[in-house]
Structure formats: C-alpha cells, structure tokens
Amino acid sequence: MKHSVLKATAAFFVGSILLNSCKKDDPQPVNEEELITTLVVSLKDVATGFTSTFIFKDPDGEGGNGPTQFDEINMEAGKEYDCTLSVLNESVSPAEDITEEIMEEDVDHQFYFTPSGSSASVTTTDIDAVGLPVGLESNWDAGAAGTGTMKITLKHKPGEKAAGDTIAVGETDIEITFTTNVN
Amino acid sequence: MKYFFSVVFFFCLISWGNAQCYLKVQGSITDPDTHEMLSGADIEIIDINKKTISDSLGNFLLEGLCPGVYDLRIKHLNCNPLTLHIHLKDDFKETIQLTHYYNTLEQVTVNADIQKAGASAAAQISGKELDQTRGLSLGEALKKIAGVSNLQTGTNIYKPVINGLHSSRVLIINNGIRQEGQQWGSEHAPEIDPNIANRLTVIKGAASIRYGGDAIGGVVLVEPKMLSRLPGISGELNTALFSNNRMGVLSGILEGNFKHISPLSWRVQGTIKRGGDAKTPNYWLENSGIAEYNFSATAGWLKSNWGSELFFSSFDTELGIFTGSHIGNTTDLINAINSGKPPDYIADATFSYNLDRPKQRVKHYLFKSNSFIQTGNAGKLNLILATQYNSRQEYDLKKFASSTDAPQLDLRISTYTGEVVWDHHSWNGIRGSMGVSTMYQDNWYQYRLFIPQYQALNAGLFIIEKWNIGKLALEAAARYDRKNIYSIFANDGTTYPDKNFDGFSGNLGVIYAVQTNHRLTANISTGWRAPNINELYSDGLHHGAARLEKGKADLQPERANSFIAGYQYSGKKWQIESEIFYKQIDDFIYLKPTYPPQLTIRGAFPAFEFDQADARLYGGDISLSVQTGDHINLKLKSTLLWAWNISDKDWLIQMPPNTHEVAVEYIFTDAGKWKQPYCKIEFTYTEKQNRVPGTGNIEIKQTDGSLSLESDYAPPPAAYGLTSFEAGTSIQTKDRPINLIVAVNNIFNTVYRNYMNAFRYYADEMGTNVSLRLKIPFAIHKHI
C-alpha cells in the first residue's frame, strides 16, 4: 500500500514538472511596442524660414511619472507657419520615430487641430494614398494677439477613414491641448 | 452514437425477454467509516418507480421484480446518493456502503457536510437546477443562488459577486483546490469549466475557513461527482444551443470502474464551446465571440482503508472583447456615452464568429493528487498536493498594422499547494477536521507592466469542529495564516519592498432545528485578507475603464467581522428561505478617487489610488415558494444590499442593485414517456442603483457648460424588468432518462443596461436568446 502511495506521489511530481517546464522564457522588452511618449510641433515661419519647436514629452508613458516637458506654443500675430509634426517613442534608447509608421499607414490615421481663443487657423496640407488629409504637414495662420489653446488629436481608424470624418471617428492615440501665446 | 444505440437496444431485448417476476432485492445499508447501520435511507428502483425505506437496522427488501437491468438508487441524509446498476437474474442480496460526505475522497465535501447539517450559511445548485444552467459560464450559473450576482465585462466575462464582494474576496475552490489565477482583475473571469461540476455551492459563513481566512466575501465550491464505484462504463452528453450569439456547447463525460480491479475508477470529461457575436435588440456586438476547449481526467484507487486520486484539468479560452468598448482616452469614452450607441461603423457590423483584437486568451492547467489513509477507527488522514499554471494574455487593438502580434499584457502564475488534513469521526459527539496548508507562488510577466514579478509563500493552520446535541448543533472554526510576498521587481529593474502579513480568523455557528424541516441558524465570524499585489504595486492605465490606477505600498490587511442569521422552513405547501447579514470591514481596500486628473499624451485621465476605509455591508435575501394545488408553484425572491463607506460617509461604488423575482411554474402530470414536464414564466426586476457616491474625481461637463465632479462617467442605468420562459421534461427511455429544456431569455427583446457590466457605457445588453439543452446519459455495460 505504501508503495502505491509512493508511486502516486512520484507520478504527481513528474507531472508537476512537465506541467511547468513549458513556461518561462526570458522577459521580453520592458514596454509594449510603439508606446507614444513625445509629440514635437515644428513651426517654420514662412516669411523668414526660422523654425521653432514645441514639445510634449512623457517618457514613461501613461501612469507613473507625469510629463517631463509640456511647452507652450508661441506665434506672432498674423504670421503664417508651416507646421510639421513628429511623433516619438522615447521610452527606448535610441528613441524610435513613430512618424514613419504613421506615414506608412496614413490611410488609417488622421490628425485634427482644434484651436480656441487666440490661436491659429489650420489647414492640413498633406494627403494619404487615397487623397484624404493626414495632418503631419499643415499650414497655420496665427490670429490676433492674446492667449488660447490648440488641441492636437491623432485618430487611429483602421478601415474607417472617410472624407469629411468628424473627430469622433476612431480611437484616440494622441490628444494634447497646448497653450498658445500669440504675440 | 451508432454503438450507443445498439447497446441500448440490446439491453432493451434482455429486459423484455423474461417474465418470471418474483425476484427480490434485499440488503443492508452501512456507513463504511463509522460502521453504523443507516436507517431511513431511501431505496428506489428508478426504472419501475418501486421504493422502500431501510428499517432501524439498515435493512431493506424489494419484492416481485422481473429479471432485467435496473438502476437502484440509494439516498440518505448527508450521504452521496449511490446508484447501483444491477443485472437481475436471480435474487440479489448485498451489503451496500454509503459514504457520508465527510468520509469521501473529495475533501471539498467535508464542508458540504458541515454546511448542510451545520450553521454556515450555504446554498447550492445541483441536479435539475444545474441542468438549467448548462452551457453558461460559472459566474452566470451561480446567479441562481440567492445573494449571488455578477460583475460583468461584456457578454463573455462573468465574475461571481457574493453579497457585494468579488474578485480576491471570493475564493473559488475547483475540485478541492483554491483556484489561483489573476483573480484580482474585474475583467478576469474564473478559469473553470462548470461542466466538470455536478454541484455548485456557495458558502458565506464558517466553513469557508477550511480554504483560507481571506474569503471574506465567501467561497464557491465547484465539485465533480464522485468517481463511479460500479463496474462498467457510463457517461453523459450535454449539449446546449443558444440562438442569440449562435453558440453551441458540447460537453461529455465518460467514466467507469473495472470489475476485476474494483478499486480502480476513472473518468474523462471534455467541453467544446463556440459562440459568435451577441446581439442587442438593435445591433450586433462586433467581436464578442468565444472559443473554449476544456478537458479533464481523473483516476482513483479506493480501498476501504486507503485511497488515492489523480486529477488533471485543462482550460483554454479565447474571448473576444466588443470592438466598441475599446477607447483611446476619456474624450472617446464621453463620446461613446453621449451617443448612446456604438458608432455606426461598429453598430452596422453583421454577425460573425471571428475573434479579433481586442481579445483575451486564458489558459489554466491543474494537476492534483489526493490520498487518504484511515487512522484506525478514529478518523482519516488526507494528503492533497496540487500544482496549477495560469497564463493570461490580453491583446489590445494594434497601433499599426505593422505592429507585432504579441499581446500587450502577458501574465503567468504558477502555484504549488500542499495540505495535510485529519478528519476525525465522532468523539463524544464532536467531529471535525484539522490541518496545515501551504502554498508557493511565482508570478511572471512580459510586455506592459501592470503588476510586477513576485514570489509568495503562504502557510495556514486550521481546525473546524462540530458538536451535535439534540436539536442543537454547534460549529466552531479557527485558522492562523501567514503570507509573505518577496522578490518583487519590474522588468525595468525597479524593485519593491517585501511584504509580510499574518493573522487569525475564526467562526462560531449555531443551528437550532425546531423540527427537521424548520430551522434557525446564526453565525459570527472574523476574517482578514492581505492586500493583493495589484493593490500594493499596480501602476498604470486601466484601459476599458479609462482611468489610472495606482497601488499603495503601505496598505494593511483588511478585517471583516460578520454576522449572518438564517431561517428556513420547508413544509408541504410553503417553503421559506431567508437570510440577513451584517458585515463590518475595517480597512476595506478600495480605489479612492484623487484629483486633479493626471495628464498623459492621450489627454487627462482621472486617477485613482488604492486606499483603506472602514466599510459596512448589510442586507439579506428571502425566497418564498407556495404550492397551490398539485400543479402550480409560485416563487418570490428578493435580494437586498446596502454598502456604506463609514470613513467617507458615502456609498461604496459598483455594488449590485436590489433585485426581485417572481416565477410561476406549472408542473404537468406525467404523460407516457414524458416525465415531470413543466413550464415556467419568470419576471426579474432590477432596481436602479441609487446608492452611489455623491461626488468623485471625474470631470463631467453639464448642459450649462459648467464642470461637475462625479464618481462615475455615467449615472447608473435605469431599472429594468426581464421576462423569461422555460419548459422542460424528462423523456423515459429503456436506459436512462433524457432531459430536454427549452428556454427563452429576455422574451420581449427589452433594451437595457446593467450597472454591474463594465460595458454599460458602450452598448446595450443581449436581446432575446432562445436556448435548447439536451442531456443524454448512457451506459455501456461492458465488464472488463
């Protein structure tokens, strides 16, 4: 009898080992791929060619520490700017440029610009493969002097992007409301 | 199937072929452990409806039988019913051993015994009631029990909520083993195939101490049938079909015992479940399908003085998460709530079985051995060893089509448990169990951090004793537990401090049986729960809920002191079952809203931090059943709950609203082969949950443009009433009865949202669902 109990116990432990031998590998990279940590807004003064950049940066992503850099956008009243957006993942080293991926899949992505108060009126200048706006490139007309905001939203809408989409379509990947100072 | 029918046919021939109807079946019934003769046992030959009761010496006699094949069923209070399959050619005489629950190899039934004759508040579903839930998930099936509701995430994820408490406050015991997965998550359903069970029990009181002092909400027992001790092979096929999501569930059991190696019994069981998108009254819920494949195998060797059993089970599920519930930030969520329905491009989707991202893939394996040795006449010593492995992978929508196919969240936990328990038989009227239990855990993750890697070591000592004296039964239990969590680190190298907790739990219960069918119970208990790893160290975005959750490293254990009182009466005309409870939880761990919202690249999210407050939960449930005439049965049931945060002087969030049920059942007279046909109409009314916190940290823009701080993104949904219909019957065959149940849920295709469903922000609940359930038991009487 004792013999059988021993056998059963031995069988049990062999089973346990088999059950658990099929698990752990070394942990994969710390963060999920394509974490978006940083948005860089570059405004080139069309008249002078001078470029300023304004940055939002939260290197450890959502949760944990708050953003480490959140600039205010400065413009001059009545001036025209060429805007270029750049999206980065700075949680990895070297930083990953996510702008390229947005360009490659521009038929699924769209930036929206929502000004409020003293800000700029924005016209998207780039188009995707089927002729719909993308927003990585845009033209900003600064308004009258004062302060206001510019909300920049990146929408991901795989298979759903269509002409005249409202901002409500799709899932929000970026939503940053910059304070604007028009001097 | 062809083989099955030919076997049935063959036995039909045998039973018709003879006509010498003077044979007798006699014997005596004993308890193999106490050697007591059992009087008052019901002995029934099911096939011909012949019954008798064993006399004071445990003897019984049934006469005038024709030769044939019969199922002899023996039932006795607190014993597992036994069915003997006999081939009657000559007079039959045998001493039949009927094991009491506490003597059986299934150590879980120790508590079933205690609760049944004991003072713990407990309720169970088995037999016909369990048949009515076949095809549903464990959480949904448990809803039949008074005081149990569900915390839901869409149409596939159901977590049991016992008197307002859930997740790590509710222990689930799967075939005697504490289920250890990532049960802290509100969208993590129990990884258990309910088709394994022939009985589901919910224990709210004392007996829960057997499994850990941390079950402050209660314990759910998922208990399989005992292994067959009768030579031959038998089985059961269960199918369930559902119209709404076009789901099919097929589950089978095959079990047997060897005539020439009588101690050896075995069982294999498996379930396949496949469903597509669910439909609300107005639109399909895109990507809400499910695919699940489960199996288990058991082998047992049982002798009179020792026995051993090995059990293996595998659970593997893939759950689609409704596309419209995946949001990027709070703006998306507010848009979803304000539009009142999913966006057209999601709502216009047509039915599909596809399972795309977002989805969950969860696997759970359990391997268990369970052995006992009789320790003379004094009792029985049990050794229970188990190892389980849980893997949970959560797939979000990809950011880019070129993104890798890897899941965003990948958690794996291995658990090893060992228990030594001594059950002792009656000694001066006192019987019970005592034991030691230990558990080691290793948690691992990759990709996104939500909870860190860690190891944990738990050890506990417990004793449960029960004393019967006349109409009074007393029950007392005590337990001491230690819990250490160590080697805690994140994959980026961050380390966290180790944690050690220890404490006592105890219980005292009393039952007073006014008469055998009329009793009063009272139970007081104290229990504690150590903070979970997520409560201590989580830090991140809870995607579906659009909020940031942060652990708090210096949380202390919470302690619950409860009082439960019950009254039960079961007469010929009236049946009453009622229970009231009062639970004070000191240092109740909950998510406390913080302000202001935290800024991220996807906008500001409301932030919550785990914190502690004193809380008070009280309520009760009452069910009333009246039999009018021979055919009509009226049932009323109400479940009430109040959950109050004493420290903040406000209600606790996300507690189940009060519900009320009315059912009218009509039982038809047997008609030929149709046995016990019935039909039933049921109306369930769920109140609007008005007991929610008055303020919070979520900024909601009012119609006048002002901002107010609310505790939730949307107010609790309106009250709703649902009507369902069910009809069923047993169909007598020459072998065993086939059971058939047809049901229609939400007959009027009512549009409603459920406060306890995390997806109430995004979509309505399921519309009309017609289901068909068929249970086909069979036996292959091949003696090997």
Cα separation, B606 vs B653, in Å, equals 15
Nearest chain A residue (CA) to B607: A63
- Closest approach of chain A CAs to the CA of B567, in angstroms? 45
Nearest chain B residue (CA) to A98: B400
Residue A161 lies in a domain: yes
Residue A5 lies in a domain: no
Closest C-alpha to B735, from B276, B43, B85: B85
Q: Is A7 helix (H, G, I), strand (E, B) or coil?
A: helix
Encode pLDDT of B387-434 as tens digits. Answer: 999 999 999 888 888 888 899 899 999 999 999 999 887 788 788 899
Residue with tokens 């002899």: B72
Cα separation, A59 vs A25, in Å, equals 27
Residue A39 lies in a domain: yes
Contact map slice: B 418-447 vs A, CB within 8 A: 444-447
pLDDT of B587: 96
Q: Is B229 helix (H, G, I), strand (E, B) or coil?
A: coil
B399 and A67: CB-CB below 8 Å?
Answer: no
Domain count, chain A: 1
B449 and A168: CB-CB below 8 Å?
Answer: no
* DSSP classification of residue B648: T
Cα separation, B605 vs B596, in Å, equals 9
Q: Which of A72-86, B75-89, B210-224, B408-422 has the lowest mean pLDDT?
A: B75-89
Encode pLDDT of B729-747 as tens digits. Answer: 999 887 778 999 999 999 9
A175 and B328: CB-CB below 8 Å?
Answer: yes
Once rounded to an integer, what is the mean pLDDT over residues B767-778?
A: 96
CB contact at 8 A, B553 and B485: no
Closest C-alpha to B396, from B385, B387, B404: B404
- Closest approach of chain A CAs to the CA of B470, in angstroms? 40
Q: Which of B287, B368, B602, B608 to mutate to test the interface with A (most CBs of A within 10 A)?
A: B602
pLDDT band, very low/low/confident/very high, at B82 (cuts 50, 70, 90): confident
Cα separation, B331 vs A166, in Å, equals 13
pLDDT of A58: 93
Bigger pLDDT: B781 or B706? B706
Nearest chain A residue (CA) to B372: A5
CB contact at 8 A, A75 and A19: no
Picking from A24, A153, A175, the nearest residue to B444 by CB comes out as A24
Beta bridge partners of B317: B292, B362
B411 contacts on A by Cβ (under 8 Å): none
CA angle at residue B783 from B781 to B784, to 5 degrees? 140
Burial A67-80 (b: 16+ CB within 10 A, else e): beebeebebeeebb
Nearest chain A residue (CA) to B405: A33
Domain with A165, as residue range(s), is 28-182
Contact map slice: B 289-318 vs A, CB within 8 A: 301, 303, 306, 308, 310, 312
Topology classification of domain B222-780 = Maltoporin; Chain A (2.40.170)
B490 and A15: CB-CB below 8 Å?
Answer: no
Sign of the dihedral defined by the CA atoms of residues B165, B171, B173, B179, in that order = positive
pLDDT of B104: 32
pLDDT of B62: 85
The verdict on A61 touching B (C-beta cutoff 8 Å) is yes
Cα separation, B567 vs B624, in Å, equals 11
Share of chain A above pLDDT 70, in %: 82
Q: Which of B374-378, B534-538, B655-659 has the lowest mean pLDDT?
A: B374-378
Closest C-alpha to B220, from B238, B233, B207: B207
CATH of domain B105-221: 2.170.130.10
Encode pLDDT of B676-692 as tens digits. Answer: 899 999 999 999 999 99
B602 contacts on A by Cβ (under 8 Å): 62, 172-175
**Cis geometry, peptide bond prior to residue B358 (ω within 30 degrees of 0):** yes
Q: Is the pLDDT of residue B11 over 60?
A: no
Cα separation, B264 vs B303, in Å, equals 9
Cα separation, A176 vs B550, in Å, equals 23
pLDDT band, very low/low/confident/very high, at A10 (cuts 50, 70, 90): low
B310 and A11: CB-CB below 8 Å?
Answer: yes
Question: What does the longest C-alpha to C-alpha distance in chain A come to?
Answer: 96
A175 contacts on B by Cβ (under 8 Å): 328-329, 331, 601-603
Q: Domain ranges in chain B?
A: 2-99, 105-221, 222-780
Residue A4 lies in a domain: no
CB contact at 8 A, A81 and A142: yes
* DSSP classification of residue B760: G
The verdict on A108 touching B (C-beta cutoff 8 Å) is yes
Q: Which of B368, B440, B600, B610 to mutate to test the interface with A (most CBs of A within 10 A)?
A: B600
Cβ contacts of residue B575 below 8 Å, gap of 6+?
B569, B623, B624, B625, B626
CA B579 vs. chain centroid, Å, equals 20
CA A47 vs. chain centroid, Å, equals 30
Q: Which of B41-55, B76-90, B308-322 has the lowest mean pLDDT?
A: B76-90
B403 and A19: CB-CB below 8 Å?
Answer: no
Q: Is the pLDDT of residue A61 over 80?
A: yes
Closest C-alpha to A166, from A179, A174, A157: A157
- Closest approach of chain A CAs to the CA of B288, in angstroms? 18
The verdict on B448 touching A (C-beta cutoff 8 Å) is yes
Cα separation, B478 vs A12, in Å, equals 30
Element (H, E) at B610: strand B603-628
Bigger pLDDT: B23 or B25? B25
B328 contacts on A by Cβ (under 8 Å): 156, 171-173, 175
CA B253 vs. chain centroid, Å, equals 19
pLDDT band, very low/low/confident/very high, at B6 (cuts 50, 70, 90): very low
Quickly list DSSP for B345-380.
HHHTPPP-----SSEEEEEEEEEEEEEEEEETTTEE
B367 and A56: CB-CB below 8 Å?
Answer: no
CB contact at 8 A, B471 and B514: yes
Cα separation, B740 vs B771, in Å, equals 11
Once rounded to an integer, what is the mean pLDDT over residues B329-349?
A: 90
If phi > 0 it is left, if psi is from -120 to 50 it is alpha, else beta; for residue B377 that is alpha
Q: What distances in angstroms separate CA B425 from CA A48, B33, B379, B478, one per listed residue?
A: 96, 8, 5, 19
pLDDT of A14: 58
CB contact at 8 A, B158 and B140: yes
Q: Which of A175, A177, A178 to mutate to test the interface with B (most CBs of B within 10 A)?
A: A175
pLDDT of B363: 97
The rounded mean pLDDT for chain B is 87
Residue A160 lies in a domain: yes
Picking from B327, B401, B448, the nearest residue to A31 by CB comes out as B448
Q: Is the pLDDT of residue B3 over 70?
A: no
The verdict on B572 touching A (C-beta cutoff 8 Å) is no
Cβ contacts of residue B56 below 8 Å, gap of 6+?
B39
A168 and B339: CB-CB below 8 Å?
Answer: yes
Residue A1 lies in a domain: no
The verdict on A23 touching B (C-beta cutoff 8 Å) is yes
Q: Which of A12-21, A151-160, B97-106, B651-660 has the lowest mean pLDDT?
A: B97-106
User: What is the interface size between A and B, counted as CB pairs within 8 Å?
Assistant: 153
Spatial strand order in the sheet of B177-178: B122-126, B199-203, B218-223, B170-174, B177-178
- Closest approach of chain A CAs to the CA of B261, in angstroms? 15
B603 and A176: CB-CB below 8 Å?
Answer: yes
Encode pLDDT of B502-552 as tens digits. Answer: 999 999 989 898 887 888 999 999 999 999 999 999 988 887 677 889 999
pLDDT band, very low/low/confident/very high, at B100 (cuts 50, 70, 90): low
Cα separation, B340 vs B283, in Å, equals 12
**Cis geometry, peptide bond prior to residue B596 (ω within 30 degrees of 0):** yes
Q: Is the pLDDT of residue B13 over 70?
A: no
- Closest approach of chain A CAs to the CA of B539, in angstroms? 6
Specify the CATH number for B2-99; select among 3.40.50.300, 1.20.1050.10, 3.20.20.80, 2.60.40.1120: 2.60.40.1120
Share of chain B above pLDDT 70, in %: 92
pLDDT of A12: 59
Element (H, E) at B536: helix B533-537
A63 and B385: CB-CB below 8 Å?
Answer: no
B416 class by beta-carbon count within 10 Å (0-12 exposed, 13-18 middle, 19+ buried): middle
Written as six digits, the tokens of B218 are 């209660």
Q: Is the pLDDT of residue B65 over 70?
A: yes
pLDDT of B690: 96
Burial B501-520 (b: 16+ CB within 10 A, else e): bebebbbbbbbebeeeeebe
A176 contacts on B by Cβ (under 8 Å): 601, 603
pLDDT of B403: 85
Question: What does the longest C-alpha to C-alpha distance in chain B come to?
Answer: 91
* Backbone dihedral angles phi then psi of residue B169, each to the nearest 5 degrees: -90, -5
If phi > 0 it is left, if psi is from -120 to 50 it is alpha, else beta; for residue B56 that is alpha
Q: Is the ipTM above a cut-off of 0.90? A: no
The verdict on A64 touching B (C-beta cutoff 8 Å) is yes
Cα separation, B631 vs B628, in Å, equals 7
Cα separation, B643 vs B406, in Å, equals 41
pLDDT band, very low/low/confident/very high, at A98 (cuts 50, 70, 90): very high
Q: For B132-212, where are the alpha helices, taking DSSP H only?
A: 138-142
Q: Which of A6, A13, A17, A20 to mutate to test the interface with B (most CBs of B within 10 A)?
A: A20
Contact map slice: B 377-406 vs A, CB within 8 A: 385, 387, 389, 391, 397, 399-404, 406
The verdict on A129 touching B (C-beta cutoff 8 Å) is no
Picking from B367, B403, B404, the nearest residue to A15 by CB comes out as B367
Encode pLDDT of B121-147 as tens digits. Answer: 678 888 888 999 999 999 999 999 988
Residue A35 lies in a domain: yes
Residue with tokens 């609203």: B657
CA B239 vs. chain centroid, Å, equals 20
CB contact at 8 A, A82 and A43: yes
B406 contacts on A by Cβ (under 8 Å): 28, 33
CB contact at 8 A, B603 and B609: no
Q: Is the pLDDT of residue A34 over 90?
A: no
pLDDT of B116: 38
Element (H, E) at A172: strand A171-182
Quickly list DSSP for B666-712.
EEPPPBTTEEEEEEEEEEEEE-------S--SEEEE-TTS-EEEESS
- Closest approach of chain B CAs to the CA of A174, in angstroms? 5
Q: What distances in angstroms separate CA A142 from CA A118, A180, B576, one per listed residue?
A: 8, 10, 76
Nearest chain B residue (CA) to A162: B345
Q: State which amino acid sits at residue B517.
A: N
Spatial strand order in the sheet of B82-88: B50-53, B42-45, B68-75, B82-88
pLDDT of A17: 54
B400 contacts on A by Cβ (under 8 Å): 34, 101-102, 104-105, 108
pLDDT of A8: 53
Q: Is the pLDDT of residue B639 over 50?
A: yes
Cα separation, B732 vs B47, in Å, equals 9
Q: Is B208 helix (H, G, I), strand (E, B) or coil?
A: helix
Picking from B310, B331, B389, the nearest residue to A175 by CB comes out as B331
CB contact at 8 A, B431 and B425: yes
pLDDT of B38: 80
- Closest approach of chain A CAs to the CA of B387, in angstroms? 6
